[in-house]
Structure 1
Amino acid sequence: MPTVGSKLRHLAASESSLARQVRGALVGTLYTSPASLAIGAIAGSVTAGCIAYASGSLSLLICSIAIHLVGILRIFSAVIYIRRKTVGSPDEQLHWERIYEIGAWLYASLLGAQAFLTLTQSSETMLLLMATIMATGYSAGVAARNAGRPIIAIGQLCLGTLPMAIGLFVTGTPLSITLGLCTIIFMMGMVDISLQTYEVVYTALSGKQEKSEVAARFEKMARSDMLTGLDNRLAMQMRLGELLDAVDPDESEKLAVIWMDLDHFKTINDTLGHLAGDKVLIVTAQRVKAVLGDRGWLARFGGDEFVIMALVSSSEEAGTLGAEILESVSQPVSINENIVEVAASLGVAVAPDHGRQSEIMLKNADIALYHAKNEGGKRVQIFEPFMHEDFLMLRQIESGLTDALENDEFTVLFQPIIDLATGRTKSCEALLRWKHPELGDVSPAMFIPVAESAGLIGDITEWVLRKACEAAAEWPEDVHISVNISPALLKQNNLPVTIIETLVNTGMVARRLELEITESVLLDKNPHTNSLLRQLQKMGLRLCLDDFGTGFSSLTYLRSWEFDTIKIDKSFIRNIGNSPTDQKIIGAVVQLAKSLDVATVAEGVETEEQLSRVREAGCSRVQGYYYARPMTAAQATERLVQEELPDDGPLKIVNQR
């Protein structure tokens, strides 16, 4: 069983660790019932007045006046405390506790002094009885009433009963001495009762506080993103609703909703792992918060998507804010000695211009984001009404792409690439075609970007590779097959595995497969992409630089990479008959390629004059409608068979326009 000493030690320890809410509740118990204070004060005042009057003692009169004044002040302070609306700060709680403590100890001291003076100055039995009963009764009452703050209760017990015990000892009779000892024993018992009561009160309040804190933590968890600490989707939607309700159409202040999505974030997860992806998300959140400051709110919508809400004066200001965020986010992130390039796309909708309801605002911001990504990403797009119809069509295409793979709606056609020296087909380019059940023929220029942004390009490319290699496996061994590879696919790890599996399953050899890549892949200077391309070359695959001459053409590409083929973009071929400049450019590219022992393909040759010009320029191969339109695998096989047949005269070029 715990002793009074151990309880006092526990009291000292608990005093230093009281939570704010628990301490506030315990201090509140002191002021819980102003009525009991009033009753005690009235009883004490009446008793003190009677004793002073009957005894005729000046000291007891002074004591009586002091008891009256202190009692009134204590009642007044309790009324003021009860009228307060809040618990207050820890300093304020301590202030009110000190006020009560001083009043309680002063009042107990006065009652104890009154008992001592009565015992030592009067022999009137009734006066002695009144003084001792008042001191004893008060001490017994405070032991329970003020147990929430046991230091105060123990102080009152000691100050109220010890002077009375001393007075009994001073009297000197055996009975008074015995009663004095009993008073001290009574005081110690009441101290123990106060400590026990405090234990019960403290445990109950601490348990209540712990439950309250747990509930608060769970509520915060329900509204917060565990990784970044930002508001989650639920909290964002609640805040957005409140902000939209506060937007006044007649005021100049508007609310911008910016939906941000990291470009190619899945690639980061696939290549470096989810821990690296998590770090990118955390760094991104920190960067956006630094840009926003107190101008707005940031929430993580889910995955790599974030929603920013900010008060702006116009759509232009919203676009400027989006550009600041984009610039901050689009900085490299260092992860385990790897430098990861990060970029984002942002869609912006502004209330009330683009809507007043949260669902509509989020939808329009999402539509703007979709357009930003469809335009190549790493840009800010402000919502425009015309985007809604485009968005619906793009969504229809996106949903249709999944069905197209399952329902075998895709078709692969093959366009021959002719060797000008022999007039025979040197290679065929695999061209993907898609006829949507409702939209009809959809251009690859439209559905390929959608497939890239939707993460479907890998499955589609795998299907094209398989179909292309199955067809090429039936062709002569000196005829190659070329397949376009999306830049998005080159950021993933599994492309070499996919190609190896395709070659094994179709019986194709690596040297007959040529991968066509665009200059944008090399412009990105992604270390992973560069490593992947070199890995593919080591496997024996051929590399073709497609659409050379457009965008950011650079001779450093030719110096850094051992391409097997360079395709001169059709835009140069189209004007070759009328543009001496284009003729010179083509001639320079061809001469450079010859010096590097690289084949050149002139794309888009459709006329006799164009053929004559590219032949004069020295191009080794041509591709275009002049020789053949894209054809089925069966037609391509038949063409190659015809080319293999013996010819009595000079070799003739087969024209299948």
Structure 2
Amino acid sequence: MPTVGSKLRHLAASESSLARQVRAALVSTLYTSPGSLAIGAIAGSVTAACIAYVSGSLALLICSIAIHLVGVLRIASAIIYLRSEHGDSAREQLYWERIYEVGAWLYASLLGAQAFLTLTQSSETVLLLMATIMATGYSAGVAARNAGRPIIAIGQLCLGTLPMALGLFVMGTPLSITLGLCVIIFVFGMVDIGLQIYEVVYSALSGKQEKSEVAARFEKMARSDMLTGLDNRLAMQMRLSELLDTVEEEHDEKLTVIWMDLDHFKTINDTLGHLAGDKVLIVTAQRVKAVLGNRGWLARFGGDEFVIMARVASTEEAHLLGVEILESISQPVSINENTVEVAASLGIAVSPDHGRQSEIMLKNADIALYHAKNEGGKSVRLFEPFMHEDFLMHRKIESGLNDALANGEFTVLFQPIIDLETGRTKSCEALLRWNHPELGDVSPAVFIPVAESAGLIGEITQWVMRKACEAAAEWPENINVSVNISPALLKRNNLPVTIIETLVNTGMVARRLELEITESVLLDKSPHTNSLLRQLQKMGLRLCLDDFGTGFSSLTYLRSWEFDTIKIDKSFIRNIANSPTDQKIIGAVVQLAKSLDVATVAEGVETEEQLKRVRDAGCSRVQGFYYARPMTAAQAKQRLAHEGLPSDDDRKIANLS
């Protein structure tokens, strides 16, 4: 069983390890009941006044006046504490504790001094009784009331009762000495009781504090992103709602919501691994936070998406902030021995201009982000009302694409590519067409990007390739078929397997299948893409560089890859009759291709004049409405059959459609 000494040692140890919140709670117990302070002060004042008046002692009169003053000051300090907006800092709590401590010990000392003086200077039994009862009752009361701060309670107990015991010893009678000893025993008993109460209070508050800290940790985990330490989606939505409420109250300022999405982040994960992707996310978060400073808040919405919230004065300031953020993160990130290029697309909405509710603001920022990504990425777009209609159309097309294959809404047409030397068809390009049940014919330029972003392009391309190979299997063996391959498809490891399965199932040979790829594929410089293209070439497939001249055309492509065909984009053919510059560019490309033994195809030839110009430039093949419009598989088969007849006039056959 613990002794008073062991309890005092525990008290000393716990004092140095008190948590700030626990200490604040214990100090607040000293001031919780100013009423009890007032009752004690009134009782002490009345008792002191009576003793001083009846005894006629100057010392007791001075003691009585001091008891009045200290009692009033203690009540006043308690009222000030309760009415003031005090914090829970360690320094402030210690300040209020010291004020209470000085007042409590001074008041207890005065009561103890009054008891000592009364016992030694008066023989009035009633006065002796009043002085001793007041000192004893006060000491017993504070031992319980101030048990939350036992040092103060023990000090009050000793200062209030030990002078009384000394006075009893000074009286020198056997009964007074006996009573003095009982008072000392009483002090030890009250100290033990006070420490026991403190143990209970301390344990209860510590347990409550521990539960509060655990709850706070779990709440923080529920509101934080584990990787970056930023607010997560839940916390962001709560903060956004709060910020929008303040914007409605303060009409002279606006709130911008910036939705940011990293460009080609999946490629980083696929090629370098998820740890590399995680580092990119962490570095990106650090860079954005550095730009924001105290101007706004950053949250990770999920994946590679972030949401920025900031107070701004205008939409122009919001746009400038978006540009500043984009510039800060568009810097390479070093990961082990690799340097990763990072870029992002940002969509901006500003309240109250673009909405006053969090759901609307997030939706409009997302719509603006969609337009930024549609522009090729690495751009900032501010929301505009017309974007909403475009976004709804995008969603409608995406929803329709999910069912288009199953509902038989797709059609593959074939456009002949003519060899200018013979005037006969050399190959046919497979062209996908979509007839939407509500929208009618939807342009591939519209639905192909949607299919890519929705992850549907793989299944669609596989279907087109199968249909193209099925049709080409019935053509003469010297006629090839070309199929456009999406850059997104070259990110997948199973593309070679898919192509082999298609060739085997349709009976096509690899050398008759030509894959058309755009320059954007080669810009990626991904080891995975390079390896995949080389695998396809080793299988015997032909490669065609499509839309040459429209992107970042580079001679290094032609040096690094053995293309079978280069397609000159129709934008050069359109003005070839009137543009000497376009004529020179086409002539240069053709001469370069001839030196590399690569065939050239002029796309979009529609007039006699255009045909003459590309023929003069030396193009080996042409494709366009001048010779033939896209046709069905049955029409293409019939056309090629007629071309095989030796008596047919080549020009008439070429114009069949």
Q: TM-score, normalised by structure 2?
A: 0.88
Equivalence for 1:304: 304
Equivalence for 1:67: 67
Residues 412 and 632 in structure 2, CA contact (< 8 A), matched pair in contact too: yes
1:507 and 1:282 mapped to 2: Cα distance?
50
Equivalence for 1:387: 387
Encode CA deviations 1:61-81: one digit per residue, 9 max, x unaligned. 444443333223222222222
Equivalence for 1:186: 186
Instruction: From the superposition, tell whether residues 351 and 115 of structure 1 become closer, same or farther in structure 2 (CA, over 3 Å).
Output: closer
Q: Which amino acid aligns with 2:183?
A: T
Instruction: From the superposition, tell whether residues 33 and 9 of structure 1 become closer, same or farther in structure 2 (CA, over 3 Å).
Output: same
Equivalence for 1:201: 201
Residues 373 and 453 in structure 1, CA contact (< 8 A), matched pair in contact too: no
Instruction: From the superposition, tell whether residues 99 and 335 of structure 1 become closer, same or farther in structure 2 (CA, over 3 Å).
Output: same
Tell me the secondary structure at the aligned position of residue 563 of structure 1: coil
Shift of 1:464: 2.3
Encode CA deviations 1:61-103: one digit per residue, 9 max, x unaligned. 4444433332232222222223224455332221111011111
Equivalence for 1:133: 133
1:255 and 1:128 mapped to 2: Cα distance?
75
Equivalence for 1:407: 407
- 2:625 counterpart of 1:625: yes
1:620 and 1:404 mapped to 2: Cα distance?
37
Instruction: From the superposition, tell whether residues 34 and 315 of structure 1 become closer, same or farther in structure 2 (CA, over 3 Å).
Output: closer
1:483 and 1:247 mapped to 2: Cα distance?
54
Tell me the secondary structure at the aligned position of residue 406 of structure 1: coil
Mapping of residues 260-339 of structure 1, within 5 Å:
260-339=260-339
Shift of 1:179: 3.8
Mapping of residues 149-548 of structure 1, within 5 Å:
149-169=149-169, 175-221=175-221, 223-247=223-247, 253-421=253-421, 424-475=424-475, 478-503=478-503, 505-506=505-506, 508-548=508-548
1:27 and 1:52 mapped to 2: Cα distance?
34
1:106 and 1:356 mapped to 2: Cα distance?
61
Q: Which amino acid aligns with 2:320?
A: T
1:78 and 1:610 mapped to 2: Cα distance?
98
Encode CA deviations 1:386-437: one digit per residue, 9 max, x unaligned. 3333333222212211121332321222223344455554433221111111
2:217 and 2:391 mapped to 1: Cα distance?
40
1:558 and 1:362 mapped to 2: Cα distance?
45
Can you give the 5+ residue segments of structure 2 that lack an aligned partner in the other structure?
none
Instruction: From the superposition, tell whether residues 116 and 493 of structure 1 become closer, same or farther in structure 2 (CA, over 3 Å).
Output: farther
Residues 423 and 653 in structure 1, CA contact (< 8 A), matched pair in contact too: no
1:30 and 1:649 mapped to 2: Cα distance?
113
- 2:597 counterpart of 1:597: yes
Percentage of pairs with the same residue: 87
Residues 264 and 488 in structure 1, CA contact (< 8 A), matched pair in contact too: no
Encode CA deviations 1:228-248: one digit per residue, 9 max, x unaligned. 444444544454445445557
Q: TM-score, normalised by structure 1?
A: 0.88
Residues 112 and 161 in structure 2, CA contact (< 8 A), matched pair in contact too: yes
Tell me the secondary structure at the aligned position of residue 481 of structure 1: strand
Shift of 1:546: 0.9
Instruction: From the superposition, tell whether residues 137 and 351 of structure 1 become closer, same or farther in structure 2 (CA, over 3 Å).
Output: closer
**Mean CA deviation greater in 445-454 or 582-591:** 582-591
1:35 and 1:246 mapped to 2: Cα distance?
41
Equivalence for 2:79: 79
RMSD of Structure 2 on Structure 1 (CA): 3.4
Equivalence for 2:103: 103
2:466 and 2:199 mapped to 1: Cα distance?
77
Equivalence for 1:21: 21
2:542 and 2:298 mapped to 1: Cα distance?
47
Shift of 1:137: 2.0
Instruction: From the superposition, tell whether residues 201 and 502 of structure 1 become closer, same or farther in structure 2 (CA, over 3 Å).
Output: farther
Mapping of residues 86-125 of structure 1, within 5 Å:
86-120=86-120, 125=125
Residues 21 and 88 in structure 2, CA contact (< 8 A), matched pair in contact too: no
Tell me the secondary structure at the aligned position of residue 298 of structure 1: strand
Instruction: From the superposition, tell whether residues 102 and 507 of structure 1 become closer, same or farther in structure 2 (CA, over 3 Å).
Output: farther
Residues 465 and 502 in structure 1, CA contact (< 8 A), matched pair in contact too: yes
Shift of 1:298: 3.3
Tell me the secondary structure at the aligned position of residue 350 of structure 1: strand
Aligned residues: 656
- 2:40 counterpart of 1:40: yes
Encode CA deviations 1:587-631: one digit per residue, 9 max, x unaligned. 322222222232222223345554454444333333333443323
1:466 and 1:181 mapped to 2: Cα distance?
109
